[in-house]
Amino acid sequence: AQKITQTQPGMFVQEKEAVTLDCTYDTSDPSYGLFWYKQPSSGEMIFLIYQGSYDQQNATEGRYSLNFQKARKSANLVISASQLGDSAMYFCAMRVAGGYQKVTFGTGTKLQVIP
């Protein structure tokens, strides 16, 4: 079975500073993908970044980067230069090749950016 753990229910960060949101995962499948989604208060789920289990380099997308440590089974999201619009719920998620299609979500971290 696959499992995603997000241990930070809530985080605060000062505007313009960087913040790291933690995510650990567990799977026995060697082929998997890790994702981060942002969910503002309006409710839509917005894809942020993807990391494949065989990728040698950490993924980056603009201000978002994924700190992938395979041996530790962690996939932390780093947001640089936080903006007020970054205030939202953030979900870490995983999909495995051997799984039957579904993506497993963590419980989420609520990030609040302080002016």
Nearer Cβ to other proteins (52/62):
52
Radius of gyration, CA atoms only, the chain: 14
**Nearest distance, CB of residue 72 and other proteins, angstroms:** 20
**Nearest distance, CB of residue 47 and other proteins, angstroms:** 6
13 C-beta neighbours (distance < 10 Å), count: 18
Alpha carbons 88 and 102: distance in angstroms, whole number? 23
Both tokens of 84, joined, read 């007020």
Nearer Cβ to other proteins (68/91):
91
Q: Which residues bind other proteins (CB under 8 A)?
A: 31-33, 35, 37, 42-47, 50, 52-53, 89, 91, 93, 95-97, 99-103, 105-108, 110
Q: Give the pairing of strands 109-114 and 10-14.
A: parallel
**Nearest distance, CB of residue 16 and other proteins, angstroms:** 27
**Nearest distance, CB of residue 21 and other proteins, angstroms:** 14
Both tokens of 34, joined, read 């890790």
Nearer Cβ to other proteins (16/40):
40
Q: Which residues contact 71 (CB under 8 A, 6 or more apart)?
A: none
Nearer Cβ to other proteins (14/60):
60
